[in-house]
């Protein structure tokens, strides 16, 4: 026998392992422990450093009964796992379909760029899918307060998680990133029994079909603070960009308007409203063939107006409304809801950012960028529309102005 032949040595070790496996008194439970081993469900978002396999819960099986569990450690060069298996006659049940982006201790490797997600095959084995170049989800309701007599019930996923008296409502007892405790108390005083109010949101409905991400800490962990802050600023149902990598911003439309001086209305208030309108729409994202509102946490100053049903109007929003409208219409997209084609671009009784609705009829996500220059009646309002193009899919940007 050639003692220096490594293949012969490996063969002997495998025979020993099989023998030890047959004789091994340790046996695996018939229960499939895959769900205990995996710390993330199918579609769950993961990032570098996340623990996705609980090594301590890994089910061990005799090598002879499932020799295929040796294949991945052998092909990936996991020497420790191979030697342990050969000396004990058992090996952890393999729950990995593709070890790319996974370390031997069950974590997401540093090779994963951006927020990936878990994909589980029909056999319950996992792989990690890298994020597309552009990923967006939606701000969706998650937690509700329901008035019930002299209390509120806090409900998540159709389950009551706590019941609070009015006096117990505080920043410590309810989520307050979207609705303040004081606003919730004010609502409670006038709401009828059974009425509900959304007090917390999650990110769901992703364009790459990953599952929803719940809770402030998890959202920030997976996507960073910017998407979470975007959620806080925008209306329920708003699309939220969570990842933008290897994509180009292509300038496809621009427009400008000016506040001007109108003697019948105070110019400084109008200029302030114009600036707030620009702020309320700046950096708004709209996915292809969808619609979106602007920000909800903006403040306008009303001016007396006899023609308005309410007796007042937010004069000064029509000049920036014209700028936004003209930039949208130049793309061939429909007139935004709440706007007109006239000089007075924002219709009475439509709130300039919360009610006005812009539609993106194009094939790419768009970003609305608005800003102002100048003061008083000389305030100019600029709008630029960018298409966000995945460089892997849409490499031809030669006919437009491109920003990396």
Segment (H or E) for 198: strand 196-204
Q: What is the pTM for the complete model shown? A: 0.84
Please tell me what DSSP assigns to residue 8. Answer: H
Domain assignments of the chain as residue spans, ordered by start: 6-129, 134-240, 246-403
Distance of CA 212 to the CA centre of its chain: 8
336 φ, ψ to 5°? -60, 145
pLDDT tens digits, one per residue of 177-227: 999 999 999 999 999 999 999 999 999 999 999 999 999 999 999 999 999
Residue 268 token pair: 């400084």
Cα separation, 354 vs 336, in Å, equals 12
Q: What CA–CA distances, in Å, run from 365 to 131, 231, 249? A: 16, 17, 10
- Greatest CA separation found in the chain? 107
List beta partners, residue 401: 251
The pLDDT of residue 6: 54
**CB neighbours (10 Å) of residue 75?**
9
Mean pLDDT by 10 residues, the chain (404 residues): 51 50 40 53 95 75 59 64 66 76 90 96 92 96 96 95 95 93 95 97 98 97 98 98 93 98 94 98 98 97 86 93 99 98 95 98 98 98 97 53 52
The pLDDT of residue 25: 39
Q: Kindly report each contact of residues 30-36 with a partner whose C-beta sits within 8 Å and lies 24 or more positions away, as own/partner.
A: 32/59, 32/124, 33/57, 33/58, 33/59, 33/93, 34/59, 34/93, 34/95, 34/124
C-alpha dihedral sign at 202, 203, 209, 210? negative
Cα separation, 237 vs 137, in Å, equals 9
pLDDT tens digits, one per residue of 255-268: 999 999 999 999 99
Inter-axis angle of helices 216-223 and 225-233, nearest 10 = 130
Cα separation, 303 vs 315, in Å, equals 6
Say if strands 134-148 and 126-129 run parallel, antiparallel, or are unpaired.
unpaired
The pLDDT of residue 258: 98
The pLDDT of residue 78: 67
């Amino acid at each position: 026998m050639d003692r220096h032949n490594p293949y012969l040595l490996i063969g002997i070790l495998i025979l020993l392992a099989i023998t030890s496996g047959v004789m091994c008194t340790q046996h695996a439970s018939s229960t499939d422990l895959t769900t205990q081993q995996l710390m993330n469900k199918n579609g769950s978002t993961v990032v570098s450093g996340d623990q996705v396999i609980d090594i301590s819960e890994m089910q061990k099986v005799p090598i002879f009964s499932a020799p295929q569990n040796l294949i991945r450690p052998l092909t990936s060069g996991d020497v420790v796992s191979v030697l342990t298996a050969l000396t004990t006659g058992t090996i952890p049940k393999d729950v990995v379909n593709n070890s790319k982006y996974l370390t031997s201790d069950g974590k997401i490797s540093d090779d994963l760029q951006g927020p990936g997600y878990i994909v589980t095959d029909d056999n319950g084995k996992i792989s990690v899918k890298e994020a597309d170049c552009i990923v967006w989800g939606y701000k969706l309701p998650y937690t509700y307060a329901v008035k019930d007599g002299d209390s509120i019930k806090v409900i998540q996923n159709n389950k009551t998680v706590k019941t609070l008296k009015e006096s117990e409502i505080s920043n410590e007892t309810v989520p307050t990133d979207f609705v303040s405790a004081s606003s919730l108390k004010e609502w409670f005083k006038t709401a009828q029994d059974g009425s509900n109010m959304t007090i917390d949101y999650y990110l769901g409905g992703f364009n790459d079909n990953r599952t929803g991400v719940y809770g402030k800490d998890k959202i920030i962990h997976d996507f960073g603070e910017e998407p979470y802050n975007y959620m806080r600023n925008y209306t329920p149902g708003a699309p939220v960009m969570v990842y933008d990598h290897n994509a180009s911003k292509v300038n496809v439309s621009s427009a400008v308007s000016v506040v001007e001086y109108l003697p019948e209305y105070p110019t400084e208030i109008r200029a302030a409203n114009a600036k707030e309108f620009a702020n309320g729409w700046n950096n708004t994202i709209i996915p292809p063939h969808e619609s979106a509102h602007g920000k909800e946490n903006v403040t306008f100053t009303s001016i007396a107006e006899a023609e308005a049903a309410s007796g007042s109007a937010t004069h000064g929003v029509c000049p920036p409304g014209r700028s936004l409208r003209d930039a949208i219409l130049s793309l061939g997209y429909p007139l935004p809801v709440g706007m007109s084609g006239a000089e007075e671009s924002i219709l009475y009784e439509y709130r300039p950012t919360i009610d006005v609705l812009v539609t993106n009829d194009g094939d790419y996500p768009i970003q609305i960028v608005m800003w102002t220059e100048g003061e008083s009646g000389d305030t100019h309002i600029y709008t630029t529309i960018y298409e966000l193009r995945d460089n892997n899919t849409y490499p031809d940007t030669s006919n437009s102005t491109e920003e990396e």
